[in-house]
Amino acid sequence: MISLSGLTKRYGTVTAVDDLSLEIKSGRVTGFLGPNGAGKSTTMRMILGLDHPTSGKALVNGKTYEELKHPLREVGALLDAKALHPGRTARSHLLSMARSNGIAGRRVEEVLEVVGLTSVAKRRVGLFSLGMGQRLGIAGALLGDPGVLIFDEPVNGLDPDGVRWVRGIARSLADEGRTVFLSSHLMSEMQQTADQVVVIGKGKLIADMPILELIERSALGTVRVRVPDPRGREELASRIASAGFTADRSDDEVLVVRGATSEQVGDLAHEAAIRLHELRMQEPSLEEAYMELTSGSLEYGTARMTNRTDGLDA
């Protein structure tokens, strides 16, 4: 289990992690979500003793990482797939890790087999693709057969088969009773993998709950309605607003309605004799719930692109 108590990290005047307290329990996959700059990687680094908290504590099985006698046997981590010596082979990289932690050499062959790198074990890691580097990083995390696993963006650079493999291995590790803590920006993948979700924004805890509960707490979902006639589209948008719902434009013909059912939107269109080309309910998703939760916690806002060319012409 991982326990965070009042965990805070400041860099000068910038607070990267702000009084974060939570428990990441064993026997389940806990997803770690937040916008860029939210403090996810800093939190993981403090758990692993790579960054020291300004205040508060991060404990693994009741101890700080520095207090663990055999760290790799208790917690395995993948934070940066590129943090490898490019001149070493995959096998020699894992052997050096094993020897420094009193792990038998045969375990290296076992984890190479698990991650599918046996055939390239003699290849220098500097020649590895990002996906192969991710697999090697996961092999290193598994090397000590630990009860706690921490993965930061483990599917980055993987093909669809690799993404499915990471999902499967995360689930199997949790089913064995281990603690699995992973971050990802792929909401659809997280929705299929995680049991629990922790969401932070600007270093602060926003949510910590079962993933199904988080999704169910979001709005009714959205209704996608395609109105080919511009006047009809404006009229329907006005009627939707008057009914207390919100409508955003998705593209030139589509309105995305929040807070209403497809029946309600259909009735509004029928009353005004507005012709529709599409009327479809989109069920609530982790992405929808996440966007609602973090809408006020974005570190980097973006503006809508337009077709204006002011100041571009010579």
The full DSSP string for 104-171 is -THHHHHHHHHTT-GGGTTSBGGG--HHHHHHHHHHHHHTT--SEEEEESTTTT--HHHHHHHHHHHH
Residue 297: predicted pLDDT = 63
CATH homologous superfamily for 2-216? P-loop containing nucleotide triphosphate hydrolases (3.40.50.300)
Q: Which residue has the tokens 């939190």?
A: 43
* Domain boundaries of the chain, sorted by first residue: 2-216, 219-283
Residue 304: predicted pLDDT = 47
Mean pLDDT by 10 residues, the chain (314 residues): 96 95 96 92 96 96 94 93 86 94 93 95 92 92 96 88 91 96 90 94 94 76 89 94 88 86 94 94 80 70 48 45
Residue 219: predicted pLDDT = 52
Task: Measure CA 118 to chain center.
Answer: 29
Inter-residue contact 141 to 86 (CB < 8 Å) = no
Residue 314: predicted pLDDT = 40
2-216 and 219-283 have identical folds: no
Which one of 3.40.50.2000, 3.40.50.450, 3.40.50.2020, 3.30.70.260 gives the CATH number of domain 219-283? 3.30.70.260
Residue 249: predicted pLDDT = 83
Residue 185: predicted pLDDT = 86
The region that residue 175 occupies, defined by phi over 0 for left and psi between -120 and 50 for alpha, beta otherwise, is alpha
